[in-house]
Amino acid sequence: MKHYLFALFSIFSIISGYSQEVWQDFEFLIGNWQGVENGVAGEGIGYRTYTFELGAHYIMEKNQSTFPKSEKKPRGEVHRDIGIFSYNSNREEVVYRSFNIENFTNIFVLDTAESSAEKLVFVTREIENNPGNWVARLTIEKLSENEFREFFEIAMDGSNFSPFLSNHWHRVQ
């Protein structure tokens, strides 16, 4: 029994330490954010939170963006989404799942070749309810501990990315 408990404790210690290392470049995101957004829906404002969840094995994101009335959208637009960052130790990759009010679920994988401590680049492995051969790319550029920019691009043909949305976020208390 002692050997079993020791082995179990050792495994949990390794996993817990590993989680902290995996999220090192993401920790600055934790907190509340307000941003200005520009994209195909027009210019808007957004509110977002990032929190560690379930023993810091996951990062949860909650977002709401509001865009004013326009010719294309006379009622304006309120976009909501939630996201979960996780680490797949079997594939040794960070995965970001973004669940959107439009019924798209983007399953992104961190592109480690394009990423650094100051820039996180994700490319979709899959888009559930994809209307075509779309691929999406999300880039988060850390400007400081209290500011970041975010770029969301779509390749409707599967390879040629076009800007869809850019956001500039500032930490709020």
| Chain mean pLDDT for the chain | 89
pLDDT (0 to 100) of residue 8: 41
Amino acid, single-letter form, for residue 110: L
* Domains held by the chain: number: 1
Tens digits of residue pLDDT in 30-66:
999 999 999 988 899 999 999 999 999 999 999 999 9
The residue segments making up the domain with residue 27 are 2-172
Q: Could you tell me the CA-to-CA distances from 51 to 25, 164, 173 in Å, in that order?
A: 14, 26, 14
Q: Is the pLDDT of residue 124 over 60?
A: yes
Least confident of 39-43, 76-80, 94-98, 144-148: 39-43
Token digits of residue 157: 């043909």
CATH number of the domain within which 162 lies: 2.40.128.20
d(CA 61, CA 99): 10
DSSP output for 144-167? ETTEEEEEEEEETTSS--EEEEEE
pLDDT (0 to 100) of residue 9: 43
DSSP letter, residue 114: T
pLDDT (0 to 100) of residue 40: 86
pLDDT (0 to 100) of residue 85: 98
d(CA 126, CA 99): 12
Amino acid, single-letter form, for residue 105: T
| Cβ contact 40:165 at 8 Å | yes
- Using alpha carbons only, what angle is made at residue 109 by residues 94 and 96, rounded to the nearest 5 degrees? 65
Share of the chain above pLDDT 70, in %: 88
14: confidence class by pLDDT, cuts 50, 70, 90: very low
Tens digits of residue pLDDT in 89-116:
999 999 999 999 999 999 999 999 999 9
| Cβ contact 32:48 at 8 Å | yes
d(CA 52, CA 85): 9
28: confidence class by pLDDT, cuts 50, 70, 90: very high
